Structure 1
Amino acid sequence: MKILEDSVKINRSPETIFQWFTHFTGNYRTWHKDHVTSRWIKGNYFEKGAVLYAEEYLGGKLEKLNFEITRCVRNELIEYKVLFPESLICSGGSFSIKPSNGGSIFTAALSFRFGGILSKVAKKRFEAIRLHMKEEGENLKSLLENESKLS
């Protein structure tokens, strides 16, 4: 198992960051230029068992992904598992928010099966995912620190 993590300091409270995620489908396209669409196909928001469908480009290839929420702690943590067929490679991930000096540390994580092999055999793909995660963190920081009104 290999875990990719990216953390960024955001000068906003955990509550503000989590509030942004409660409007995830409305905010998804503004979060990253490669995000196409997202919608809840089962359940509501980040409740346990809810399923989110999302489309995004990774390394120039359109990905159609389904995520099931496995755990959510308001203002702290969202955990999910990736559904089949992508679950064969990526088992799941999380978004965590920790208070830090008047702001927050936002961390995105993804867990990969066969991670060591994957990072060697599909190096370009693995690097595209790593870059995408980094850009999402930087974009979230910019969106939240530079906009006075949240969607």
Structure 2
Amino acid sequence: MSVKRMSGNLHGKLAGHPCTEDAVMHRTGNETQILQQKAACALRPPFNSVVDPIEIAIGNGIGGSVAQPGMAEIIPDTPLDNRYIVDDAYRLSVLLVPVINNRKMIGVINSKRTQKDFNTAKTPAGTHHYRQHR
């Protein structure tokens, strides 16, 4: 799956979605154990661009911790989680969902909110993983 297609899919699924102010797609390298920021969807400038992308080793940070077992996580209060890595701005609540393609974990969607306790167990069903269908 191309990064351009993945970016379009991310934007189409998350733009204006009530669960996100800012979302980033972290994509795994072909044979690396690194997550790279590749696509974005935001309600503020630069709306759909990744600026100063960061790389996170699988197993590190919250995103890397989600990628390792392929299980979604809700962090309602990021200051209480020492795995939280700040990229462009500090957020108080995050929802991270693994992206699965052909039964392989290929990335993580990181949906971020400035509001503490925004994502809860009542966050819409279907967020335990995102499966890319061709």
TM-score by length of 1: 0.32
TM-score by length of 2: 0.35
In terms of fraction of residues, the more strand-rich structure is: 1
